[in-house]
Amino acid sequence: MSRTIRTICLTCAMVMAGVLLAGCGLPIGGKSEKGALAGMDMQGAAERADGMFYATVGAIKPEIEWVHDATTTGSCDVTRYWSVMTVVSEQRRGSFLGVVERFWKTRGYRIDMVNPSKEMPEIIATSPDGFGIMVTIGYKGQAFFEVTSPCVEESKVAAPTKVANGRTYEGEIPTPNVRSDFWSAETSVPGPTASS
């Protein structure tokens, strides 16, 4: 998938997540008069987003390989992106999404949308403190994660400090290139999958 097409897909997904989050109400953490999460700036929000992602992929067994992707900032929000380098076969996508969805529910995340599309399934959720989190499986079984903060105080945002558990790529991140005996297998796994 070309970088342009992937960027368009991620932009559309971000818009959808923004629309869903717009009606979510006030996050539990409380807001200041400026509408920002009390006591949190963009750097703090980026670190919170990182922690949400690391906890999510830590719950996926067997382990998957992932790399950091982009960080974007708005006028008062920050979004982090990650690409999964482990191939998730069509037959294992439901299981993969099911693991993620169940983990998010145990963390008290509200599941806002489950798209069971065969071509590009995704789950969008909101954490109790108002962070939007999304997983999408795209071209050639590549999973993408995205976390977007609610409005916070403006600040500079540094790159993530944790080293990715996959290879480092110069320039464009390629399609998934890591085979897993489990996630890349072309047989289905009996048991629960993402809700429909």
Per-residue pLDDT of the chain (196 residues; tens, 9 = 90+): 444 444 444 444 443 444 333 333 333 333 433 445 778 999 999 999 999 999 999 999 999 999 999 999 999 999 999 999 999 999 999 999 999 999 999 999 999 999 999 889 999 999 999 999 999 999 999 999 999 999 999 999 999 999 999 888 888 999 999 999 999 999 887 655 555 4
Alpha-carbon gap, residue 45 to 57, rounded angstroms: 19
The four Cα atoms 38, 39, 44, 48 give a dihedral, to 10 degrees, of: -50
**C-alpha 43 chain-centroid distance:** 18
Of 22, 12, 65, 48, which is closest to residue 129 (Cα–Cα)?
48
* Domains of the chain, residue spans: 3-148
The answer to whether the predicted template modeling score (pTM) of the entire model surpasses 0.85 is no
Alpha-carbon gap, residue 154 to 77, rounded angstroms: 8
pLDDT at 190: 63
Domain boundaries 3-148, CATH class: alpha beta
